[in-house]
Structure 1
Amino acid sequence: MSNKITELFQIKYPIIQAGMVWNSGWRLASASSNAGILGLIGAGSMYPDVLREHIQNCKQATQQPFGVNVPMLYPNIQEIMGIIVDEGVKIVFTSAGNPKTWTAWLQERGILVVHVVSSVKFALKAQEAGVNAIVAEGFEAGGHNGRDETTTFTLIPMVKEKIKIPLIAAGGVATGKSMLAAMILGADGVQVGSRFVASEESSAHEAFKQVVVDAKEGDTQLTLKELAPVRLIKNKFYNDIQELYQSSPTVEELKALLGRSRAKKGMFEGDLDEGELEIGQIAGLIHDIKPVATIVKDMVSEFEVAKQNVIYI
């Protein structure tokens, strides 16, 4: 299955395992890379010394390409980038910031740069900044999201129409059929997050994984747009947010309710009431916890069958 994405990253299948906070440690990244896709370590939840340890462990666990996802709004960004260079990481996915800030600096050091966007406007800015590829992430995705609520299947063809560099679709992709649909609409590959949360190698708490498996249609909602839009499973914390909204809260009041370490409490520590439980709408189609290798095998098999069925229609 060779195309622009497999050639760019030197991987077998055009699938990227998303670098998600509290879910994407070295075990998930290395298992993904060993399965023939691109594994990403999620640096957003890691102190610099912890990130270095994860990179070193990942290098021991796989001989295949892997990368690091770096949300640029996080502190210690200069130290994080320095560690990435020191440890010889060759692929960086950036998000939540201006791609011009680090793209050239990383590329001068032999690193491929991919930037995550949620709109055509930011896709064009990323292309102008010189990134090697773009991830266009739709409204369906879990975690922090775009304010415009543009769905993946609307966003992908609109971005494809305007850019010339490789395009990766994200948001609502967890099966071979959705992978094929995204590629028919113009994507060269897909980035998958929620499906890999419910994997054996994910660093998510087992209680959170089970909540993802149990989730149904309508169990997630995008909220906290005044701070940073985030898609959450509806739990006590989510209900507390909605109750606060009834009083037309200030940004400061929303920040006070959010507090610190909500995501860690929910996804990593398993506090299903007070924690922030970030997951995509596609959770309604995730029914089990599997090894990464099995997830990838199932996706690729379903993709090939679906492709043949489309040919015969």
Structure 2
Amino acid sequence: MKTRITTMLGIEYPIIQGGMMWVGLAELASAVSNAGGLGILTALTQPDPESLYREILRCREMTDKPFGVNLTLLPTIKPVPYAEYAQAAVDAGVRVIETAGRSPEEYMPLFKANGVHVIHKCTSVRHALKAQAIGCDAVSVDGFECAGHPGEDDVTNLVLLPAAAAQLEVPMVASGGIGTGRQMAAAMLLGAEAVNMGTRFVATIEAPVHENLKRAMVAADERQTALIFRTLRNTARVFRNSVAEQVLAIESRDGATDFAEIQPLVAGVRGREQVLEGGDIDGGIWTAGQVIGLIEDIPSCAELLARMMAEARAELDRVNAQFGLSSAQ
């Protein structure tokens, strides 16, 4: 399946593994790339730029296929040396960088001077157009169904994707709520030239998280996510567990939400140590998209991508046949 995205990135299938905190390590990224997609290392999972450089080299030992790095630019209490992380990725020879959060404009000269393809993740058409204007090579349009931060506009991909496609000239990646070949085919019909998946890749053999987490995702349905931080206008979609319910209860009180009361519940270290590593599903906050309702097994990345491609082709063939068109290529 050849698109502008597969040609640009040098990959076989139009499937990208999104950057995920604590999950985007070499084990997963290399598995996705070896399976024909584009694996992504998460820069800020590494404690410092030097560690990112070493993780990129480690990933290169596991795959000779293209892979990228996610750099999420967000305001933090403790300053993050984003420029140094960006430089480390460039110095290590990475040629695909997925940015998210605020605009990557200040880093574009560095990326362009080193032949880096930049894919910026956006949750609205206006932000996608801005990314295009500053020179991003593609945009990843993230619908309301997604895990993590869906923005504050609450527009789902059934509307957001065609709205963005109608105005963009650079290729568009569909992100958020996707985990099957049927959905990939639908995203293509809505104007996408690739899909980006996060949650679905967590429930794979190679994902470096506790097995309990993967099994909980298989057992869950599409209703088992929660939107927290809405009162703070920093909405995040997470798995609906007892900790998420506590946060929702605090946010439902009259008056302004005191983040200091929520902070111990949502600490990232707590989620990593108790949930992702320890396997306690109620040990902390962990992000998950509504696509958990479509996850029914824990395959290898190779099995997942092969299945998705076969299913997408079958769905496109079915649509073509239904309308009397030639077979999908």
Please report how far the alpha carbon of residue 256 of structure 1 lies from its aligned counterpart in structure 2 after TM superposition: 5.1
Give 1:299's aligned residue: 308
Percent of paired sites with the same residue: 35
2:290 corresponds to which of 264, 281, 286 = 281
Deviations 1:4-48 (A, max 9, x none): 011110111111111111222101111111111111112232212
Please report how far the alpha carbon of residue 273 of structure 1 lies from its aligned counterpart in structure 2 after TM superposition: 1.4
2:209 corresponds to which of 204, 207, 220 = 204
Correspondence 1:254 to 2:262:
yes
- Secondary structure of residue in 2 paired with 1:163: coil
Deviations 1:218-239 (A, max 9, x none): 1012221316321111111101
Please report how far the alpha carbon of residue 252 of structure 1 lies from its aligned counterpart in structure 2 after TM superposition: 4.0
One-letter amino acid of the counterpart of residue 143, structure 1? G
- Secondary structure of residue in 2 paired with 1:98: coil
1:138-149 equivalent positions in 2, closer than 5 A: 138-149=143-154
User: CA 1:271–1:53 in structure 2 vs 1: closer, same or farther (change >3 Å)?
Assistant: farther
1:150-169 equivalent positions in 2, closer than 5 A: 150-169=155-174
User: CA 1:200–1:260 in structure 2 vs 1: closer, same or farther (change >3 Å)?
Assistant: closer
Q: Distance in 2 between matches of 1:274 and 1:169?
A: 31
State whether residues 227 and 251 of structure 1, in contact with CA within 8 Å, keep that contact through their aligned partners in structure 2: no
Correspondence 1:7 to 2:7:
yes
State whether residues 267 and 275 of structure 1, in contact with CA within 8 Å, keep that contact through their aligned partners in structure 2: no
1:1-313 equivalent positions in 2, closer than 5 A: 1-48=1-48, 49-73=50-74, 75-225=80-230, 226=232, 228-248=234-254, 249-255=257-263, 257-265=265-273, 266-313=275-322
One-letter amino acid of the counterpart of residue 122, structure 1? H
Long gaps (5+) in structure 2: 323-329
One-letter amino acid of the counterpart of residue 248, structure 2? Q
Give 2:326's aligned residue: none
How many corresponding residue pairs? 313
State whether residues 22 and 268 of structure 1, in contact with CA within 8 Å, keep that contact through their aligned partners in structure 2: no
| Segment of structure 1 superposing worse, 61-70 or 201-210 | 201-210
User: CA 1:274–1:24 in structure 2 vs 1: closer, same or farther (change >3 Å)?
Assistant: same
Please report how far the alpha carbon of residue 113 of structure 1 lies from its aligned counterpart in structure 2 after TM superposition: 0.7
Q: Distance in 1 between matches of 2:218 and 2:319?
A: 29
State whether residues 72 and 94 of structure 1, in contact with CA within 8 Å, keep that contact through their aligned partners in structure 2: yes
Please report how far the alpha carbon of residue 129 of structure 1 lies from its aligned counterpart in structure 2 after TM superposition: 1.0
In the superposition, the TM-score normalised over structure 2's length comes to: 0.91
One-letter amino acid of the counterpart of residue 273, structure 1? D
- Secondary structure of residue in 1 paired with 2:166: helix
State whether residues 267 and 278 of structure 1, in contact with CA within 8 Å, keep that contact through their aligned partners in structure 2: no
Please report how far the alpha carbon of residue 211 of structure 1 lies from its aligned counterpart in structure 2 after TM superposition: 1.2
Superposition CA RMSD, Å: 1.5
- Secondary structure of residue in 1 paired with 2:65: coil
Q: Distance in 2 between matches of 1:228 and 1:204?
A: 25
Long gaps (5+) in structure 1: none
State whether residues 104 and 130 of structure 1, in contact with CA within 8 Å, keep that contact through their aligned partners in structure 2: no
Please report how far the alpha carbon of residue 247 of structure 1 lies from its aligned counterpart in structure 2 after TM superposition: 2.4
User: CA 1:125–1:14 in structure 2 vs 1: closer, same or farther (change >3 Å)?
Assistant: same
State whether residues 25 and 42 of structure 2, in contact with CA within 8 Å, keep that contact through their aligned partners in structure 1: yes
Q: Distance in 2 between matches of 1:170 and 1:83?
A: 26
Please report how far the alpha carbon of residue 242 of structure 1 lies from its aligned counterpart in structure 2 after TM superposition: 1.6
- Secondary structure of residue in 1 paired with 2:136: coil
Please report how far the alpha carbon of residue 217 of structure 1 lies from its aligned counterpart in structure 2 after TM superposition: 2.4
Q: Distance in 1 between matches of 2:129 and 2:136?
A: 10
Which aligned runs of 4 or more in structure 1 are off by greater than 3 angstroms?
251-257
User: CA 1:146–1:246 in structure 2 vs 1: closer, same or farther (change >3 Å)?
Assistant: closer
